[in-house]
């Protein structure tokens, strides 16, 4: 039987609100995900929140009922609360039906099976949580095996990244690694490392991209470091016909990922 929390001063409410803060996430190793669609997707992949907040008005929605049962069955807690607290938890005027608190999870690099997918995404020093989430969402769409984050990337469990991923945080494995460890692992098996670069004459549509292809995206402002480019098997560029010399990082990754997909599907 779910308990009710209606006081904003409740310590559990404070804990959940604090999960927007990186330090609090790091200490608690938990994160926030919102919305019936995303939480249902999480459930289907076997991720069940520790805490589930829901509004009384949606308590009898079949998907909410299923989530409540799953949370309680897994030893978590389902908590009925007010629309006002829900909207404060999610930081949105328009409150979601449900807000969930999940334990963070991690995929070690050496557990990846590169034969399982033709496309793998690799991003280095990604700064924008929206870009990270959007890249995950694209990764889900192209059937990518995972997203490998190199160096000091933004936290994939930040509220903005989770939101932009539209649930793909739960379906696309995320690995954190440093560059040397990644490169060493990559070279223990097959894999073409492809970098987007301004320092090349190769149009992105020319090459074939054999499976598995690892698509490397650089930092939003600076692109890839020179030695990272030197380590690539292939550098390609996208046509830039206007004034600017670069695309948004998530956009460039997506255009490339769909090209790789097309190349591999023949």
Q: Is 250 among the residues that bind a second copy (CB under 8 A)?
A: yes
What is the bridge-based pairing of β-strands 213-217 and 234-236?
unpaired
Could you tell me which stretch among 6-14, 80-88, 108-116, 257-265 binds a second copy (CB under 8 A)? 257-265
110, 173 Cβ separation under 8 angstroms: no
Total of residues contacting a second copy (CB under 8 A): 38
Cβ proximity to a second copy: between 3 and 205 the closer is 205
Instruction: Give the one residue of 5, 231, 234, 261 binding a second copy; rule: CB under 8 A.
Output: 261
Q: Is 229 among the residues that bind a second copy (CB under 8 A)?
A: no
Q: Return the closest-CA partner of residue 55 out of 105, 90, 107.
A: 90
Q: Is 23 among the residues that bind a second copy (CB under 8 A)?
A: no
Report d(CA 119, CA 140) in Å as an integer. Answer: 11
Beta-carbon count within 10 A of 26 CB: 12
Minimal distance in Å, beta carbon 65 to a second copy? 22
Instruction: Give the one residue of 2, 83, 91, 130 binding a second copy; rule: CB under 8 A.
Output: 130
Instruction: Give the one residue of 48, 172, 174, 215 binding a second copy; rule: CB under 8 A.
Output: 172
Cβ proximity to a second copy: between 78 and 139 the closer is 139
Minimal distance in Å, beta carbon 107 to a second copy? 16
Report d(CA 168, CA 41) in Å as an integer. Answer: 9
251, 220 Cβ separation under 8 angstroms: no
Minimal distance in Å, beta carbon 252 to a second copy? 8
19, 53 Cβ separation under 8 angstroms: no
Q: Is 241 among the residues that bind a second copy (CB under 8 A)?
A: yes
**Burial label, 73 (beta-carbon count in 10 A; 0-12, 13-18, 19+):** exposed
**Burial label, 48 (beta-carbon count in 10 A; 0-12, 13-18, 19+):** buried
Q: Is 217 among the residues that bind a second copy (CB under 8 A)?
A: no
Residues that bind a second copy (CB under 8 A): 41, 44-45, 130, 134, 137-143, 164, 166-168, 171-172, 205, 238-244, 246-248, 250-251, 254-255, 258-259, 261-262, 265
């Amino acid at each position: 039987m779910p308990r009710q929390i209606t006081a904003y001063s409740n310590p559990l409410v404070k804990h959940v609100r604090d999960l927007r803060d990186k330090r609090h996430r790091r200490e608690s190793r938990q994160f926030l995900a919102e919305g019936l669609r995303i939480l249902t997707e999480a459930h289907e992949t076997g991720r069940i929140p520790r805490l589930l907040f829901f509004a009384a008005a949606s308590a009898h929605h079949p998907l909410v009922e299923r989530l409540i049962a799953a949370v309680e069955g897994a030893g978590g807690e389902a908590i009925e609360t007010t629309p006002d607290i829900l909207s404060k938890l999610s930081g949105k005027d328009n409150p979601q039906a449900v807000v969930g608190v999940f334990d963070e999870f991690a995929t070690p690099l050496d557990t990846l099976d590169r034969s399982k997918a033709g496309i793998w995404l690799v991003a280095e020093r990604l700064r924008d949580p929206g870009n990270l989430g959007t890249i995950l969402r694209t990764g889900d769409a192209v059937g990518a095996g995972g997203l490998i984050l190199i160096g000091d990337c933004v936290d994939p469990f930040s509220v903005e990244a989770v939101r932009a991923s539209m649930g793909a945080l739960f379906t696309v494995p995320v690995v954190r690694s440093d560059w040397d460890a990644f490169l060493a692992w990559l070279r223990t098996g097959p894999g073409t490392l492809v970098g987007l670069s301004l320092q090349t004459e190769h149009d992105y549509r020319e090459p074939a991209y054999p499976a598995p292809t690892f698509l490397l995206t650089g930092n939003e402002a600076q692109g890839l470091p020179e030695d990272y480019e030197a380590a690539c098997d292939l550098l390609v560029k996208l046509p830039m016909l206007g004034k600017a010399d670069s695309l948004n990082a998530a956009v460039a990754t997506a255009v490339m990922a769909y090209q790789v997909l097309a190349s591999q599907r023949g």
